[in-house]
C-alpha cells in the first residue's frame, strides 16, 4: 500500500480536480448540447458508425469502475476520483446514444440490441498493480482525447454542428482526466522515481486499447474509422511525447531503467525509434490505422 503521505497528496490533487470541474467544466446533456440544430445534421453513415462505436466502448463503464476500484482500497483520493470519473464517463455514453436516437440514425430497438451485445462481454484491467494502472490510464485518457479531437474535426468538416459540440465536451473531459493521472504519476515519481519509470516504460510498451477484443464487428468498424483514428505515428507524437513532456521526462528516461527490468521486457530497444508495442495488436491491428477509445 502507498504511504499515508502519498495518499494525502492524492487526496489534495483530487480536491483541486473536483473544484475545477465544479467551477469550470461541468456540462449538462440536456441543456448544453445544441439539440435545437438537429435539422442541420447530415445523414452520414460514417459519423453515425463512429459515434455508435464510441458509445459502445463507453458502455463498459461498470467493468472499468469495478476493476479500478478493486485496486484502490484505502486510497480515498483516487477512489473518489474514480467515482467522479465514472459520472463523467456515463455522460459520454448517454450523450452519444441520445445523438444517435434524436437524429434518427439509430432506433430504440437497435440501440437496445447493441447494448445487449456490448454488455454480454467483460472487460478486465490490463494490470493488477495500482501504479501501473495509473500509468495506463494517463496514456489511455490522453489517447482518447486525441481521438475525440480528431472526430470533432471530422464532424465539423462534414457539417454536423451537434456531434462536433458533443465531441468537444467529451474531449475536454478526457484531457482533464489525463491531467489528473499525470499529476498522480508525478507524485509517484517523487516517491519512487526508478520504480515509477520502470512501470511507465512497461505500460507504454504493452499499451493496448481493448475495443478490438470487446466490440462486435470490430474489423468493419475500424475500417470506417481510419480517416480519423490514431495510428502509430500519431500515438507517439501526440500521446507519448506530450505525456513525457508533462512529466518532465524524455524518451531516454524510459530507457535508463535497471537492466533487470529491461530483460523482463519492460521497455523497447532504443533503436526502434518509437514507443510501440512489440505486437501489432497492442495499439491497433496492423491493417487498421485507427485506435478506438475506451474508458473515456
| Candidate from 76-90, 172-186, 238-252 with smallest mean pLDDT | 76-90
Q: CB under 8 Å to 14, separation ≥6 — which residues?
A: 77, 78, 80, 81, 84, 180
Q: Is the pLDDT of residue 287 over 70?
A: no
When pLDDT is averaged across residues 234-256 and rounded to a whole number, the result is 90
Q: What's the confidence (pLDDT) of residue 202? A: 92
Cβ atoms 213, 282 nearer than 8 A: no
What backbone phi and psi angles, to 5 degrees, belong to 265? 90, 25
Q: CB under 8 Å to 129, separation ≥6 — which residues?
A: 71, 199
When pLDDT is averaged across residues 147-156 and rounded to a whole number, the result is 94
Q: Would you place residue 274 in the very low, low, confident or very high pLDDT band (cuts 50, 70, 90)? A: very low
Which pTM does this prediction carry? 0.84
Q: How many CA atoms lie within 13 A of 70 on its CB side?
A: 11
Neighbours of 50 (CB within 10 A): 26
Q: Is the pLDDT of residue 223 over 90?
A: no
Cβ atoms 44, 92 nearer than 8 A: no
pLDDT in tens, 87-128: 999 999 999 999 999 999 999 999 999 999 888 888 888 898
Q: Is the pLDDT of residue 162 over 80?
A: yes
Q: Is the pLDDT of residue 276 over 80?
A: no
Q: What's the confidence (pLDDT) of residue 110? A: 96
Q: CB under 8 Å to 91, separation ≥6 — which residues?
A: 27, 29, 173
Amino acid at each position: 500500500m502507498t504511504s499515508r503521505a502519498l495518499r494525502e497528496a492524492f487526496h489534495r490533487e483530487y480536491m483541486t480536480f473536483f473544484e475545477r470541474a465544479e467551477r469550470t467544466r461541468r456540462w449538462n446533456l440536456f441543456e448544453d448540447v445544441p439539440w435545437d440544430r438537429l435539422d442541420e445534421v447530415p445523414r452520414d453513415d460514417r459519423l453515425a458508425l463512429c459515434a455508435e462505436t464510441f458509445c459502445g466502448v463507453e458502455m463498459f463503464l461498470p467493468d472499468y469502475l469495478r476493476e479500478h476500484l478493486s485496486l484502490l482500497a484505502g486510497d480515498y483520493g483516487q477512489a473518489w476520483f474514480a467515482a467522479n470519473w465514472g459520472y463523467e464517463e456515463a455522460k459520454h455514453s448517454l450523450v452519444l446514444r441520445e445523438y444517435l436516437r434524436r437524429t434518427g440514425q439509430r432506433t430504440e430497438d437497435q440501440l437496445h440490441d447493441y447494448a445487449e451485445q456490448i454488455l454480454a462481454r467483460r472487460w478486465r484491467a490490463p494490470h493488477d498493480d495500482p501504479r501501473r494502472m495509473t500509468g495506463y490510464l494517463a496514456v489511455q485518457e490522453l489517447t482518447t482525447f486525441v481521438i475525440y479531437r480528431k472526430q470533432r474535426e471530422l464532424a465539423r468538416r462534414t457539417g454536423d454542428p451537434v456531434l462536433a459540440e458533443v465531441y468537444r465536451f467529451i474531449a475536454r473531459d478526457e484531457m482533464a482526466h489525463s491531467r489528473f493521472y499525470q499529476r498522480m504519476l508525478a507524485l509517484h515519481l517523487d516517491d519512487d522515481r526508478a520504480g515509477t519509470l520502470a512501470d511507465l516504460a512497461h505500460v507504454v510498451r504493452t499499451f493496448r486499447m481493448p475495443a478490438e477484443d470487446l466490440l462486435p464487428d470490430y474489423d468493419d468498424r475500424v475500417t470506417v474509422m481510419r480517416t480519423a483514428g490514431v495510428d502509430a505515428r500519431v500515438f507517439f507524437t501526440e500521446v507519448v511525447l506530450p505525456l513525457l513532456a508533462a512529466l518532465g521526462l524524455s524518451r531516454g528516461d524510459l530507457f535508463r531503467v535497471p537492466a533487470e527490468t529491461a530483460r523482463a521486457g519492460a521497455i523497447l530497444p532504443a533503436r526502434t525509434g518509437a514507443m510501440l508495442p512489440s505486437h501489432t495488436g497492442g495499439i491497433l491491428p496492423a491493417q487498421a490505422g485507427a485506435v478506438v477509445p475506451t474508458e473515456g
